[in-house]
Amino acid sequence: MATTSFSPSAAIRAPSTSSFGRHLDVSRRIRLPLTRPLAPAARWGAQRHVAPFRLTARRLSVRCGALVQIDQSEFPAEVLGSDIPVLVEFVADWCGPCRLISSVVEWASQEYKGRLKVVKIDHDANPKLITEYKVYGLPTLILFKNGQEVPESRREGAITKVKLKEYLDNFLEPTSVV
């Protein structure tokens, strides 16, 4: 019968390649720097060298092709005085979800042409409307009929084309009780 002896060095060993120990193995982690290290002269402002793959931030504006972009002076005439329902989208240039849904809202303005007017209002340029309608999140969609906000029509955040179609059909189609 073979006997095994205990050795302290055998008790402390490197992580195994088993499925349990694989995620604990520090040597498998890969870390890539965002920029290359700077030369000593560059650290003091003489010369800067940035890696070519570094991302630069740029300001994108919200597209407004077939939509009407209005401000708070035009709001009473365009929205409150409209004969057809109006979908108001509160947006900002710096808002990522606003840029994300801009094509979906533009699609809705074309799809429901004649039955629905779609307008955009810039959040930063119209603080009175933001305060009056209590717009806390962007993008915010509010539906107006006969000069008043439709109850429970407020929608905040990004929305898909399918969800926007369901949302609009729910409020635009007349409901009949049988």
* Residues recognised as catalytic: 95, 98
- Alpha helices (H) in the chain, listed in sequence order: 8-11, 19-22, 40-43, 75, 96-111, 127-132, 161-172
Question: Cβ of 38: how many Cβ atoms within 10 Å?
Answer: 14
With CA atoms as reference, report the closest residue to 118 among 129, 128, 108.
108
SS3 117: strand
- Using the structure block, give the residue that is written with the tokens 């965002």: 34
Sequence letter at residue 119: V
